């Protein structure tokens, strides 16, 4: 940009005597003088041969024609109308040139009826440059061109960069199917390389995640059969056990059941991770919540805790009811576990135009703010949180979150004023 402006202001250097068309008039005069000198030196020379020695075509500035007394170009070129008219006009050629066009300049002195005609090009900047305002004009032209170039450049670079940014955000949000190479088209520059590397990276992350899911699924699967055999062996052992041994076997069975439940949950989770949608059927979410709460109320009472539902009389939404039930159960179980003795867990259902929100509030210790998002990761447990014997091994909230995401919804957690955790499950209506 700066360069263009510098060149623009330097280029014209208009001189006070320079007039529109001076270059062309001078060219006519110079060539005519030279021809005259050559003819004086040797009058037998052919003007056509001499003409070949000049550079006559100087487009776009001007074109020089040397025409015969019959009005034809000595080199046999076809003449533009204005030149042809001047070539064949009788009388004073200077006067005729002025009458026909300002772009014509002619010399015929001492050329034996031949005429040197310069037809000034139509390149609009040249005459304009010679005028006093020319420098300003060219400078503005340069500024406008640079601005246009800058805009083009910005679009050419900014657009693919924006696409990369959007793709990056999608990947961060868990969509590993995005690819940017197709959107940068046939480029072969650094942007294209960046897009290529981006896609490579996304593919790699995708492959890593998939192998992680596969491993999780395979390991859990492999653990199932020995676990089943252990349970069978224990029940055989129980038949011949004395009282002390029966108590140990009871303990073992409790642990085995925990293990079995955990493995089941991991398998469910890995299945949900692999799925990309859900089968939906009309489900009354209020009924579903009521059933869960009725089941939980008994356990809650034993632990000196309460649970209550606040919801409209019904709310029918197309969902995979099993998955929604699992999600709500996991969150409600957590809330009942963590809420303080003598307090209640509040479950409420709220509707707006687009979403259904199921909110589960407790009066427990809550979760440090920085960890609120992490509790939805599989196997994540808050350090120092109370020992969780009856829990699902840190995978309950991951299942809840995945269930919501499969429905196009989301799960989030926040700390309540006055203590306690609020978990919000959101589903599109
Ligand atoms: N209502 C709650 N109050 C406090 N902490 C909670 C609550 N719900 C979940 N958490 C924290 O989030 C972690 C993950 O929960 P979850 O995935 O259900 O696993 P689990 O219950 O098996 O530990 C828990 O270990 C606990 O630290
Ligand atoms: Mg849990």
Residues 64 and 121 grouped into a single domain: yes
Q: Are residues 358 and 240 in the same domain?
A: no
Q: Is the CB of 420 under 6 A from ligand 1?
A: no
424 lines ligand 1 (CB under 6 A): no
Cα of 337 from ligand 1 centre, angstroms: 9
User: Is the CB–ligand 1 distance for residue 394 below 6 Å?
Assistant: yes
For residue 420, give the ligand 1 atom closest to its CA.
Answer: 3
More confident residue, 406 or 16: 406
Q: Report the nearest atom of ligand 1 relative to the CA of 385.
A: 27
Residue 247 has pLDDT above 90, yes or no: yes
The answer, yes or no, to whether residue 23 has pLDDT greater than 80, is no
CA distance 403 to 268: 10
Question: Which two structure tokens, joined as six digits, stand for 399?
Answer: 């299942």
**Of 348, 345, 280, nearest in space to 316 by CA:** 280
* E runs forming strands in 51-95: 57-58, 62-67
392 close to ligand 1 (CB < 6 Angstrom): yes
Position 352 in a domain? yes
Select from 227, 245, 274 the last residue of a domain: 274
Q: Ligand 1 pocket test: which of 262, 263, 375, 401 has the largest number of ligand atoms within 8 Å of its C-beta?
A: 375
Task: Say if residue 257 is in the same domain as residue 307.
Answer: no
Both 372 and 309 in one domain: the answer is yes
- Over residues 328-340, the mean pLDDT reads 95
Residue 181 is encoded by which pair of tokens? Answer: 């190479």
Give yes or no: residues 108 and 47 share one domain. yes
Decide if 399 contacts 326 (C-beta within 8 A). yes
In this predicted structure, the answer to whether residue 88 has a pLDDT above a threshold of 80 is yes
Torsion over CA: 137, 138, 144, 147 (sign):
negative
Looking at the CA of residue 365, tell me the nearest atom of ligand 1.
4
pLDDT above 50 for 2:
yes
Residues 395 and 290 occupy one common structural domain: yes
19 pLDDT more than 70: no
> 382 CA to middle of ligand 1, Å?
7
Q: How confident is the model at residue 13 (pLDDT cuts 50, 70, 90)?
A: very low
- CB of 115 shorter than 6 A to ligand 1: no
pLDDT at 49 over 80: yes
Is residue 319 domain-shared with residue 413, that is, in the same domain? Answer: yes
User: Among 15-19, 51-55, 194-198, 244-248, which is the least confidently predicted range?
Assistant: 15-19
Residue 123's pLDDT is what?
62
DSSP state of 178: -
CA of 375 relative to ligand 2 center, distance in Å: 10
Comparing 21-25, 75-79, 284-288, the range with the smallest average pLDDT is 21-25
Average pLDDT for 251-265: 91
Residue 393 in contact with ligand 1 by CB distance below 6 A = yes
Alpha-carbon dihedral sign for residues 357, 358, 362, 366: negative
Centre of ligand 1 to C-alpha 97, Å, is: 98
Q: Out of 345, 367, 403, give the residue to mutate to test ligand 1, the one with the largest number of ligand atoms within 8 Å of its CB.
A: 367
The two tokens of residue 180 are 């940017």
286 and 410 fall within a common domain: yes
Q: What is the pLDDT of residue 388?
A: 52
Q: Is the CB of 395 under 6 A from ligand 1?
A: yes
Task: Assign 154 to helix, strand or coil.
Answer: helix
* Average pLDDT in the chain: 87
Is 419 a pocket residue for ligand 1 (Cβ < 6 Å)?
Answer: no
Residue minimizing CA distance to atom 9 of ligand 1 = 334
Name the β-bridge partners of 118: 64, 105
pLDDT in tens, 353-369: 899 999 999 999 999 99
From the CB of 278, is ligand 1 less than 6 Å away? no
Confidence at residue 18, expressed as pLDDT on a 0 to 100 scale: 37
Between 388 and 325, name the one with better pLDDT.
325
pLDDT on residue 400: 96
CATH number at residue 344: 3.30.565.10
Atom of ligand 1 nearest to the CA of 380: 14
Q: In total, how many domains does the chain have?
A: 3
Which residues sit opposite 344 in a β-bridge?
Answer: 306
Of the listed ranges 52-56, 122-126, 284-288, 348-352, the one predicted with least confidence? 122-126
Average pLDDT, stretch 272-276? 84
Gap between the Cα atoms of 404 and 413, Å rounded: 13
**Domain range enclosing 314:** 281-428
Q: Which residue has the higher pLDDT, 215 or 58?
A: 215
73 secondary structure, DSSP code: B
Q: How would residue 12 be classed by pLDDT, with cut points 50, 70 and 90? A: very low
Residue nearest to atom 13 of ligand 1 (CA): 381
428/315 Cα distance (integer angstroms): 12
Please give the average per-residue pLDDT across 15-27, as a whole number.
60
The residue among 274, 307, 335 that closes a domain is 274
Any atom of ligand 1 within 6 Å of the Cβ of 367: yes
Distance 323 CA to ligand 2 centre (A): 15
Q: What is the pLDDT of residue 4?
A: 54
- Based on the domain organization, do 85 and 56 belong to the same domain? yes
């Amino acid at each position: 940009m700066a360069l263009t402006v510098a060149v623009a202001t330097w280029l014209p250097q208009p001189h006070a005597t320079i007039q529109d068309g001076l270059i062309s008039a001078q060219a006519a005069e110079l060539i005519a003088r030279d021809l005259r000198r050559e003819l004086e030196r040797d009058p037998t020379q052919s003007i056509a041969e001499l003409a070949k020695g000049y550079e006559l075509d100087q487009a776009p500035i001007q074109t020089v024609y040397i025409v015969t007394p019959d009005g034809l170009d000595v080199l046999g070129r076809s003449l533009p109308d204005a030149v042809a008219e001047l070539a064949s006009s009788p009388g004073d050629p200077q006067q005729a040139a002025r009458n026909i066009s300002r772009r014509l300049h002619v010399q015929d002195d001492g050329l034996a009826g031949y005429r040197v005609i310069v037809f000034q090009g139509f390149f609009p900047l040249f005459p304009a440059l010679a005028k006093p305002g020319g420098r300003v004009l060219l400078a503005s032209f340069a500024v406008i061109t640079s601005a246009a170039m800058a805009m083009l450049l910005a679009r050419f670079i900014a657009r693919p960069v924006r696409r990369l940014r959007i793709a990056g955000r999608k990947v961060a949000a868990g969509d590993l199917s995005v690819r940017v190479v197709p959107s940068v088209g046939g480029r072969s520059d650094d942007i294209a390389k960046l897009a290529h590397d981006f896609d490579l990276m996304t593919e790699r992350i995708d492959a890593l995640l998939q192998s992680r899911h596969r491993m999780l699924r395979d390991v859990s699967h492999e653990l199932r059969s020995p676990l089943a055999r252990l349970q069978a062996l224990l029940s055989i052992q129980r038949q011949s056990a004395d009282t002390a041994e029966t108590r140990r076997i009871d303990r073992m069975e409790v642990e085995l059941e925990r293990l079995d439940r955990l493995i089941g949950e991991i398998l469910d989770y890995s299945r949900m991770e692999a799925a990309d949608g859900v089968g939906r059927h009309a489900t009354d979410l209020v009924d579903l919540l009521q059933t869960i709460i009725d089941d939980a109320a008994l356990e809650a009472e034993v632990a000196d805790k309460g649970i209550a539902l606040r919801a409209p009389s019904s709310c029918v939404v197309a969902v995979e009811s099993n998955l929604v039930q699992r999600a709500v159960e996991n969150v409600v179980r957590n809330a009942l576990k963590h809420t303080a003795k003598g307090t209640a867990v509040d479950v409420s259902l709220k509707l707006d135009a687009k979403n259904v929100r199921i909110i589960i509030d407790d009066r427990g210790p809550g979760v440090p703010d920085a960890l609120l998002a992490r509790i939805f990761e599989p196997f994540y447990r808050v350090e120092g949180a109370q020992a969780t014997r009856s829990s699902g091994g840190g995978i309950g909230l991951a299942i809840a979150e995945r269930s919501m995401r499969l429905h196009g919804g989301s799960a989030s957690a926040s700390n309540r004023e006055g203590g306690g955790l609020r978990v919000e499950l959101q589903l599109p209506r």
